[in-house]
Structure 1
Amino acid sequence: MPLNRLNQSATLIAVLALIGSMASLCVGTSFAKSLFAEVGAQGTTALRVSFSALILLCVWRPWRMPLSLANARVIALYGAALGATNLLFYMSLRTVPLGLAIAIEFTGPLALAVSSSRRAIDFLWIAFAVAGLLLLLPLGENVATLDPVGIGYALAAGVGWALYIIFGQMAGNAHGGQATSLGLTMASLVVLPFGLAHAGAAMFSPSLLVAGLAVGLLSSAIPYSLEMVALKRLPRRTFGILLSMEPAMGALAGLAFLHETLNTQQWLAIASIITASVGCTVTAGSRRRASAEA
């Protein structure tokens, strides 16, 4: 088989893997939301993160690898940010549709991506992100549409996501599997007290434990594995552009599994935030090249 055809096949596999990762995450989150009536957002978060940690601990067995004290500290911060982000995001899902919550949460990484730049083009992406948020904020006619507390939780989850990226980059010296599995273990220690305080012994019913395992697989173990396949084969810019489609996929998953319908203004808000994310990703490549040439 010619080399270019092999490259095309590898790229197609990577794209399908990333799409599968986002689909699995959105389906898993939709399923997780259906558990809120029994154990609340807090209990559901605790089940998801704890089972995800157990799965990845079994896969990576991080205790077999050396770990410096400096890396352990950073991984602890990375895990705490991950746990807080998951809890805040699930709290937002109590009153905010899935696609909109993902779109609002995306503003955290977006703000981080453009925070160190002063180029005119980056302010355009900031404008798109702000426009998307303004379309969603409970102002004027939107007051009765979206819960301001839910939006606040989603924005806080965005801040947590940005911190997760920062601490994740700082933990880059550690093995990826070790950092992720230990980080999720730390995340479970952060969210378990909230889950137990809210749901108590109900979290340990056999049916909910099975459901929690399914959520952990769909929302973390499978997406993480598929993302690793995509990351090894796709350029960073292509990966970022495709990942920017996640709010739309979340909205479609919410419609299909949770019967969450969005109005035209809310779809425009999602489109605006996706445009900001894609634009920021595309221009980041040229920004890095310009820095390298300087």
Structure 2
Amino acid sequence: MQDTAIKPPHRSADSSPAIQPASAVAGAALLCVLSMSSVQFGAALSAPTMATYGALSTTWLRLCWAALVLAVVVRPRLFSYSRAHWLAAGALGATMAGMTLCFFSALQRIPLGLAVAIDFLGPLTVATLAVRRARAMLWPLLAIAGVVLLSRDGGGWIGEPVGVLMACGAALGWGSYILLMKKTGTLFKGLEGLSVSLIAAALVATPFGLANSGVHIAPAQIAATAGLALLVPLLPYALEMIALRHMPSASFGILMSVEPAIGALAGFIVLHQPMGMLQILGTLLVVSASVGAVVAAR
């Protein structure tokens, strides 16, 4: 729904190698920024299609397109994987499906900037738990305060409670996705794990997509989602799997702090969603929470 040099004093199970070349770390950080930009502008550009055909069916078709394209390119060796491979890829796929369905459903009910800020609580939690200091709890609390400000304007609360609940579900999925993507990326070669996971995600999302579309899929929707699938989820997931091979999950989670700002920018440019002073302050608090987490970890 993304700290590149931070490591806890001891090696954790999902940590990358103890020493990474500076160029590899910088490259991984760049991939994360590209991924975040693709997700947010892709989400903003999806708004007209979702409004016309429904969020669930549009998300499902995007997952189908992404799974199909990557399977053709990667050609995963489906009959050569062990039980551990299938469990990891299946868990990641189910998480991808839940995360994307919740996130895009939230976008139909609340502004993009607010949805992304709530969604960011997932990776921030992953990053904070890795610090293992009591005072590190200050940063998620600061981020939560930022989300509260983002959800208010002069007239009261912004958006629907259901939209906020959907965004919270996406946050839970995003935090789980970081850990599962790291594990899947280490088990499989290249992008094979992502390919299998996307197939699983498309299958999990199928009942929701068909129910939303009434088992009737317009040709125009199929064409529109083909292009949108490149921006979300195919390109971001591929970039993030590569990046997670060169940085710890906690570092990845903190780096994703830029995403609320990118989401607010995408909402302003593409959807013309204005941000008042409370929303700007809320975005700054969310981003500041990640900066504080970086300093605490160091």
Q: TM-score range by the shorter chain?
A: 0.7 to 0.9
Aligned pairs, how many?
Answer: 277
Bigger Cα Rg: 1
1:146 maps to 159
> Does the CA-based 8 Å contact 2:179-2:249 persist in structure 1?
no
1:259 aligns with 2:282: no
1:232-274: CA deviations, max 9, x gaps? Answer: 7789887655532111111111111111112211221122112
2:65 maps to 51
Alpha-carbon distance between aligned partners in 2 of 1:224 and 1:256, rounded to the nearest angstrom: 24
2:35 maps to 21
State the one-letter code of the partner of 2:223.
V
1:291 maps to none
2:208 maps to 194
Q: Which has the higher helix share?
A: 1
Q: Which of 87, 104, 110 is the matching residue for 2:118?
A: 104
State the one-letter code of the partner of 1:247.
P
State the one-letter code of the partner of 1:124.
L
1:106-151: CA deviations, max 9, x gaps? Answer: 10122233236542441221221121133245699533x2321111
1:78 aligns with 2:65: no
Q: Which of 134, 138, 153 is the matching residue for 1:124?
A: 138
Alpha-carbon distance between aligned partners in 2 of 1:180 and 1:98, rounded to the nearest angstrom: 26
1:146-184: CA deviations, max 9, x gaps? Answer: 321111110111111122233334433233512211111
Shift in alpha-carbon separation, 1:115–1:129, aligned structure 2, 3 A? same
> Does the CA-based 8 Å contact 2:127-2:253 persist in structure 1?
no
State the one-letter code of the partner of 1:135.
L
2:15 maps to none
- Summarize the alignment of residues 1-294 of structure 1 with structure 2, pairs less than 5 Å apart: 17-63=31-77, 66-115=80-129, 117-137=131-151, 142-143=156-157, 145-171=158-184, 172-203=186-217, 205-227=218-240, 242-284=255-297, 286=298
1:290 maps to none
Alpha-carbon distance between aligned partners in 2 of 1:254 and 1:175, rounded to the nearest angstrom: 36
TM value normalised by structure 2? 0.80
Give the unaligned 5+ runs of structure 2.
Answer: 1-20
Residue 261 of structure 1 aligns to a residue whose secondary structure is: coil
Q: CA RMSD in A?
A: 3.0
Residue 35 of structure 1 aligns to a residue whose secondary structure is: helix
Alpha-carbon distance between aligned partners in 2 of 1:118 and 1:17, rounded to the nearest angstrom: 27
State the one-letter code of the partner of 1:132.
G
> Does the CA-based 8 Å contact 2:58-2:225 persist in structure 1?
yes
> Does the CA-based 8 Å contact 1:97-1:254 persist in structure 2?
yes
The worse-fitting range, judged by mean Cα deviation, of 271-280 and 83-92 is 271-280
Shift in alpha-carbon separation, 1:245–1:197, aligned structure 2, 3 A? same
TM value normalised by structure 1? 0.81
Alpha-carbon distance between aligned partners in 2 of 1:173 and 1:141, rounded to the nearest angstrom: 50
* 1:195 CA displacement: 1.1
Residue 259 of structure 1 aligns to a residue whose secondary structure is: coil
Shift in alpha-carbon separation, 1:176–1:138, aligned structure 2, 3 A? farther
Shift in alpha-carbon separation, 1:256–1:198, aligned structure 2, 3 A? same
Alpha-carbon distance between aligned partners in 1 of 2:253 and 2:172, rounded to the nearest angstrom: 19
Alpha-carbon distance between aligned partners in 2 of 1:13 and 1:239, rounded to the nearest angstrom: 13
